Structure 1
């Protein structure tokens, strides 16, 4: 383009080229050098603009590098040096069990989302969370086993057992989510099945109740508040009644011959069963607190 512009200017103004050299060859060489110098001078003001434009063009074809995940490093509260002080060691173990609770809460939230939209990456991510639960469960049990080698008071020994029991139950919850509910998710999408609007609403409501009870259970583990523990066991009984209502509604839809209900019947009922089992495991985390105060008979609250 620059050469074309220069040619047009030469044709219009017809300058003398004697100053470029005494021979035609010298004039051609020097004219070429002069032309490049002029192009360079003309382009300098535009250099910044061209540089920025080039950066943007290159960036269009470059995949963004994801920021380093804060989850890559798993912190641990299980300080070995605290084992000689049981109260500190139990506090450390409690912190670590709380982290397991947080992971289980994330898993509970994500599993119901997968019933609506699932892909290989999301399924893999959920399974990875269960692996994290398993690792922390093993580490906590080992830590508390080491702690029991020391002389513990009766209260410390009971708290140690309570934390181990809670950790076992949390691991079982993780296994139900991954080994049972995730299988239902895969089955649903592999077969292209859809819940009825009523059935899906029932599942979501049931799941919401279980998630709310999970949060109560996690609070009881930390606070050991008897009133919260009592509320959790009462909610377990209410959920059992809700399960009966949900199953009855589902069978009504089956009886009416609703096609979607027939196709998704086993997934619907199995999911309700799994959620109920998860709820029972979480509710049982309240039992040690209630038993200490004589408020529990078996798995039932004593009459007030």
Structure 2
């Protein structure tokens, strides 16, 4: 048989190995994909469980790349901390060695049985999960068949001068072997296939032990390239996990490459079968990397966050606009910037009120639910303002500056609380009611819309008070508490009358809940006046009547 035909047979066996791996991966993903993702998400409560989850999922999928892409998606979405995601990848890398170990026992006799069972399941009329499991079993059978063919090809042509020249050209330099192994794994998207191919080469003495170990090191490095290159978007934070996984493989590969010659001699002494040496080295390499990096995940994750910080999203309303870092050094500039950002915080609450009004007016439950989520935006921006004020240069802060800081912090806290109460106590009950009915009853709806208008006007008064610290604006805000208290009393009386008349009390109950919620929202807005009135001595220490002697 000619040498080109030999290469064609070799390429065909490798292609069959890759296709079998692809069928196993797609079959398992189609049958258990959502469950595997849920398994990863639910097991990420601790590093140990995350490590085991990564090991188990990769053993089923036979692809650490697929596990890495799923975990990267969870990490980029903020559903999992970086430390635990890195633990998943350490487990996934060990899981890939479990798959390679299972195929290294040359169970080619299982191939016909697996393919037969797979075809029966694949052709069942009910389809569904059975069809996907059949696909996976056919893939397993093809992988066993391809591995057996590779061993036969290497046995038949191990004395071929041309084949030895071809592989001998890349076996003289370990660094070239590492690069070749990484390139093959990147192109094949499967470290398992490349490691098994290396096993077949080493088992028939086509490549020496050192070259086989170097190819395995390259396969481990190459398996970390695809998750990095296939990470969508250009956000640096989304690349922390794949880049962190690549760094662990590069560091481990560099150490292993430096120790390649003595390590290879030692392992060949323990195990004369060079093919088994390659597989065992693959397992030992990943176990050693996991053992070294697992205790260091917290500082390692902190380093990755430092190297790849979050990229601010220009469209994110929670991103501060006026908090200039340079203004921290001058309290006068810093306080002005914080006050301006606080007004922007109030603008976000005003938009939230307007969106809530639109949703209630149109009885659009989806719009009401979406508006509720704006409370988290308020919370993030409020946290940024508080953090900025905490970092002002304390040496230049005067007593007047301290009072100003207190007023801004009070305003920020009360606006944040007002947004949270609006979401929980007003919009949530309204959305719950709209889920059961078509529209809100007109009498309570019109009253709530009017009260929201008044709440928005009070918020504008609170903003003016923050900038001018005029006591007249503070008095106007305090007067508004009386109005909202009267509205609450009227709503409570109407509800009691509806209950007493055994009439329809659902609308009156909704009205009472919403009025009470808006009263609490308004109370937080009015509280912005307290620092100004307190400095003027216009606030009582308590509303309780003093006991007489």
Q: Please classify the TM superposition score into its range, dividing by the shorter chain length.
A: 0.5 to 0.7
Equivalent residue, structure 2, for 1:118: 364
The Cα offsets for residues 25-44 of structure 1, whole Å up to 9 and x where unpaired, read as xxxxxxxxxxxxxxxxxxxx
Q: 1:179 to 1:243 in 2, by over 3 A?
A: closer
**1:249 CA displacement:** 2.9
**1:194 CA displacement:** 4.8
**1:195 CA displacement:** 4.5
Equivalent residue, structure 1, for 2:527: 284
TM-score by length of structure 1 reads 0.68
CA contact (8 A) 2:474 2:529 kept: yes
Of the candidates 538, 545, 548, which is equivalent to residue 295 of structure 1? 538
Equivalent residue, structure 1, for 2:436: 191
Asked whether 1:275 is paired with 2:521, we answer no
Q: Mind listing any 5+ residue stretches in structure 2 that lack a counterpart?
A: 1-313, 544-549
CA contact (8 A) 1:232 1:286 kept: yes
Q: Mind listing any 5+ residue stretches in structure 1 that lack a counterpart?
A: 1-69
**1:163 CA displacement:** 0.9
The range that moved more, 90-99 or 286-295, is 286-295
Q: Secondary structure at the match of 2:394?
A: coil
Asked whether 1:263 is paired with 2:509, we answer no
Give the number of the structure with larger relative contact order, counting CA–CA contacts within 8 Å between residues 6 or more apart: 1
Q: Secondary structure at the match of 1:202?
A: helix
**1:186 CA displacement:** 2.1
Q: 1:72-221 maps to which residues of 2 (within 5 A)?
A: 72=316, 74=319, 76-116=321-361, 117-120=363-366, 122-123=367-368, 125-147=370-392, 149-192=394-437, 194-221=439-466
Task: Kindly name which structure, 1 or 2, has the bigger radius of gyration based on alpha carbons.
Answer: 1
Q: 1:148 to 1:280 in 2, by over 3 A?
A: farther
Q: Secondary structure at the match of 1:150?
A: helix
Q: 1:271 to 1:193 in 2, by over 3 A?
A: farther
What RMSD in Å do the two structures reach over aligned CA positions? Answer: 2.5
CA contact (8 A) 1:76 1:96 kept: yes
Distance, in Å, in 2 between the alignment partners of 1:201 and 1:250 is 17
CA contact (8 A) 1:118 1:185 kept: no
TM-score by length of structure 2 reads 0.39
